């Protein structure tokens, strides 16, 4: 028995407009943040230079969006509340979409589930206002407004109270709205945004503000990212600008040592539209796979721009997902551009490493604060010191607190003959000693550097092994008896389509009739391999991301373990020339600022920061 069908024959009915709009609202408006997204995008499409959003109770009782855009005439206001009425497209080409909105569903959907009021004024027209409550549209009325549009949404989901039970706390909903505003602010640096919480009445409290930023593409974006993601992100991010086959990737990507514990700092845009796309996230993960452990996530703000005909944004009503015509090109562009930028960063590590180190070293305050008036005078201190240590002046010339390791020259700094400059002027300075047989202390022109010798050498060996593999290829181990793996015809075809790529990584496969695939060679570095499990893992990644880097990741993981075992171990005493050679190789090797797991290999402390620790400033 079919439990979805009643006993009697169902009758087909035409739903009324109110029911249709409420159904559409379930797709477009999931929570207050969805409503804010739709309304702010409309404001941006209207050419607004400033957008202000007021919230009450997390947007459940009030959402008010005010903009200074082109506005609407009185004749257009009733039409704007009709389904599929829009000024963004004419319907002739659904792929050539240049605006945020284009479906014409947001305003009627919001009016069907809440109390919506729109006041607007266009140039050379009178201001007018229209209201719709739970789908019931009111008359057009004159109002007072200088220009632009004010959209007020009260009592969201009052017409569908069941939806209210699925909303989270006011705080959580406010945070979701703030995230929407921040993403749109990154997409439009030239537009000013203000988010204000007006719960309880009054002027309210501004929770986010981003003033318009001027300048060229990168200057404006850099300024806006500093407002939204913080100055630390901008300070530790690399500018990205790359093109491939009609696609352009721009934006900023942070150094691996500036990683986060979750993906909250990953912001991706396609033709200026904020998206959460599985392909883009997978490409981002692949680009940083060699530098971060699985529990760390990169921080980025990346923009993919292309001809609108090369991407379909009409995949989901909320327009948060896209589909590319050439997904492999986009993935390859992201991976290659980010890896190239990280390689050019060389040994650089994020500045937050030093800040965290200084924070850990700062002693907790003990006792009451000593004010200047309570301190003894310099003359009194000198007399006190002399009384307590009468022989110290005589000993000062005979003894020094500086420790010198045999074999390391600590006199006047000699120039590095290979570089033509003193070693202390090099980025990682000149080695001065080793502590606990694991940490190298180096002196730079304006501070010191502390190097983890094992982590640093591990990255150097790993990069050397990868370079050797790229030059000579991946050695393959021929199987005495080829392993035959039974697959479906579709799966076998997908594997055989990338057979050449797999062969370059040491995995040789060929058709064996029907859906069977014969594995004749496997990468030698992997040792004994379960060929069937490996092929099925590659198929899973192909289905999930459209391409597979699984085999390369497995090989690089082996190289990483080899590098770990072949690097300088903790506890080994190093000579001065060995330490300096390690520093020079770090300066010349890409990615040497972090180990294979994304942890920093060195910490740089400026002399001014060290003096601040001892209260010498």
Domain boundary among 323, 344, 365: 344
DSSP, collapsed to helix, strand or coil, labels residue 318 as coil
pLDDT band at 56 (very low <50, low <70, confident <90, very high): very high
The per-residue pLDDT for 263 is: 86
Q: What mean pLDDT is reported for the chain?
A: 80
Residues 422 and 530 in one domain: yes
Burial of 439 (0-12, 13-18, 19+ CB in 10 A): middle
**pLDDT tops 70 at residue 20:** no
The per-residue pLDDT for 395 is: 35
User: Is 408 part of a structural domain of the chain?
Assistant: no
> Per-residue DSSP letters for 47-104?
T-SEEEEEEEGGGTSEEEEEE-S----TTHHHHHTSTT--SS--SS-SS---SS--SS
The per-residue pLDDT for 388 is: 45
The per-residue pLDDT for 64 is: 97
The per-residue pLDDT for 358 is: 59
The per-residue pLDDT for 528 is: 79
Could you report the per-residue pLDDT of 162-216, keeping only the tens digit for each? 888 888 999 999 999 999 999 999 999 999 999 999 998 888 899 999 999 988 8
Residues 93 and 159 in one domain: yes
Question: How many domains would you assign to the chain?
Answer: 3
pLDDT band at 277 (very low <50, low <70, confident <90, very high): confident
Could you report the per-residue pLDDT of 418-461, keeping only the tens digit for each? 555 677 788 888 999 888 888 999 998 888 999 998 888 888 88
DSSP β-bridge partners for residue 389: none
Residues 200 and 223 in one domain: no
**pLDDT tops 50 at residue 371:** no
More confident residue, 264 or 559: 264
Domain boundary among 210, 245, 278: 210
Mutual orientation of helices 531-545 and 489-497 as an angle, nearest 10°?
80
The per-residue pLDDT for 87 is: 59
> Which region among 55-64, 321-330, 507-516, 538-547 has the lowest average model confidence (pLDDT)?
538-547
User: Is 254 part of a structural domain of the chain?
Assistant: yes
Residues 200 and 230 in one domain: no
CATH number at residue 575: 3.30.1540.20
The per-residue pLDDT for 103 is: 58
Residues 181 and 263 in one domain: no
Residues 143 and 245 in one domain: no
Whether 440 and 583 have beta carbons less than 8 Å apart is answered as yes
Domain residues for 522?
A: 416-617
The per-residue pLDDT for 514 is: 83
Q: Which two tokens stand for residue 132?
A: 């719709």
The per-residue pLDDT for 404 is: 42
CATH number at residue 235: 3.30.230.10
pTM: 0.71
d(CA 137, CA 26): 20
Q: Which residues of 350-374 are buried (b: 16+ CB within 10 A; e: fewer)?
A: bebbbeebbeeeeeeeeeeeeeeee
User: Is 389 part of a structural domain of the chain?
Assistant: no
Residues 188 and 221 in one domain: no
User: Is 398 part of a structural domain of the chain?
Assistant: no
User: Is 409 part of a structural domain of the chain?
Assistant: no
CA 73 → CA 122, 151, 447, distances in Å? 5, 14, 65
d(CA 257, CA 380): 48
Residues 259 and 163 in one domain: no
Element (H, E) at 511: strand 508-511
User: Is 382 part of a structural domain of the chain?
Assistant: no
DSSP β-bridge partners for residue 150: 66, 119
**pLDDT tops 90 at residue 61:** yes
Half-sphere exposure of 486 (CA within 13 A, CB side): 0
Whether 60 and 173 have beta carbons less than 8 Å apart is answered as yes
Average pLDDT, integer, range 362-383:
50
Residues 227 and 197 in one domain: no
> Which region among 81-95, 146-160, 184-198 has the lowest average model confidence (pLDDT)?
81-95
Q: List Cβ neighbours of 344 (8 Å cut-off, separation of 6 or more).
A: 238, 590
User: Is 365 part of a structural domain of the chain?
Assistant: no
Strand spans (E) along 234-318: 237-244, 247-254, 266-270, 273-275, 300-305, 311-312
Domain boundary among 179, 210, 241: 210
Residues 57 and 153 in one domain: yes
More confident residue, 467 or 254: 254
Residues 170 and 276 in one domain: no
Residues 548 and 613 in one domain: yes
User: Is 387 part of a structural domain of the chain?
Assistant: no
């Amino acid at each position: 028995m079919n439990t979805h069908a009643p006993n009697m024959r169902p009758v087909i009915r035409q739903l009324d407009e109110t029911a249709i709009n409420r159904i559409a609202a379930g797709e477009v408006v999931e929570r207050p943040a969805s409503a804010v997204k739709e309304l702010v995008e409309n404001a941006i499409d209207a050419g607004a230079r400033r957008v202000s959003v007021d919230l009450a109770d997390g947007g459940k009782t009030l959402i008010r969006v005010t903009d200074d855009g082109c506005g609407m005439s009185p004749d257009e206001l009733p039409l704007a509340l009709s389904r599929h009425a829009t000024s963004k497209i004419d319907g002739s080409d659904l792929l050539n979409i240049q605006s945020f909105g284009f479906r014409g569903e947001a305003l009627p959907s919001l009016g069907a589930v809440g109390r919506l009021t729109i006041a607007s004024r266009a140039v050379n027209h009178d201001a007018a206002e229209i209201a719709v409550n739970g789908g019931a549209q009111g008359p057009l009325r004159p109002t007072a407004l200088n220009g632009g549009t004010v959209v007020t949404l009260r009592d969201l989901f009052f017409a569908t109270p069941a939806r209210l039970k699925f909303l989270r706390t006011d705080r959580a909903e406010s945070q979701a709205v703030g995230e929407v505003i921040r993403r749109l602010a990154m997409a439009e640096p030239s537009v000013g945004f203000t988010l204000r919480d007006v719960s309880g009445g009054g002027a309210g409290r501004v929770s986010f503000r981003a003033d318009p930023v001027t300048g060229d593409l990168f200057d404006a974006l850099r300024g806006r990212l500093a407002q939204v993601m913080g100055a630390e992100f901008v300070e530790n991010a690399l500018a990205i600008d790359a093109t491939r086959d009609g696609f352009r990737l721009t934006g900023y990507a942070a150094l691996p040592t500036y990683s986060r514990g979750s993906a909250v700092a990953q912001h991706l845009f396609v033709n200026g539209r904020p998206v959460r796309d599985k392909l883009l996230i997978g490409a981002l993960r692949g680009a940083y796979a060699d530098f971060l452990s699985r529990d760390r996530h990169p921080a980025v703000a990346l923009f993919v721009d292309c001809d609108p005909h090369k991407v379909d944004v009409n995949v989901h009503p909320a327009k948060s997902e896209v589909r590319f015509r050439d997904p492999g090109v986009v993935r390859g562009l992201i991976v290659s551009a980010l890896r190239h930028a990280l390689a050019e960063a060389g040994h650089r590590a994020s500045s937050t490493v030093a800040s965290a180190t200084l924070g850990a070293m700062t002693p907790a305050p003990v006792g009451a604060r000593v004010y200047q008036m309570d301190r003894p005078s310099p003359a009194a201190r000198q007399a006190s010191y002399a009384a307590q240590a009468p022989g110290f002046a005589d000993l000062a010339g005979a003894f020094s607190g500086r420790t010198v390791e045999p074999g390391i020259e600590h006199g006047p700094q000699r120039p590095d003959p290979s570089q033509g400059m003193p070693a202390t002027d090099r980025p990682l300075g000149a080695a001065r000693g080793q502590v606990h047989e694991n940490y190298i202390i180096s002196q730079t022109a304006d501070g010191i550097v502390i190097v983890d010798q094992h982590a640093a050498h591990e990255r150097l060996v790993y990069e050397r092994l990868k370079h050797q593999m790229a030059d000579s290829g991946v050695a393959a181990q021929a199987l005495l008896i080829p392993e035959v793996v039974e697959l479906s015809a579709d799966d076998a075809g997908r594997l055989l389509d990338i057979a050449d790529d797999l062969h370059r990584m040491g995995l040789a496969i060929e058709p064996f009739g029907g859906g069977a695939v014969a594995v004749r060679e496997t990468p030698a570095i992997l040792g004994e391999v379960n060929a069937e499990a490996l092929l099925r893992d590659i198929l899973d990644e192909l289905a999930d991301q459209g391409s597979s880097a699984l085999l390369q990741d497995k090989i690089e993981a082996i190289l990483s373990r080899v590098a770990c075992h072949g690097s300088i171990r903790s506890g080994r005493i190093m000579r001065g020339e060995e330490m300096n050679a390690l520093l020079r190789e770090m300066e010349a090797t890409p990615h040497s600022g972090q180990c294979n797991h994304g942890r920093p290999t060195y910490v740089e402390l400026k002399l001014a920061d060290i003096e601040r620790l001892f209260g010498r400033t």
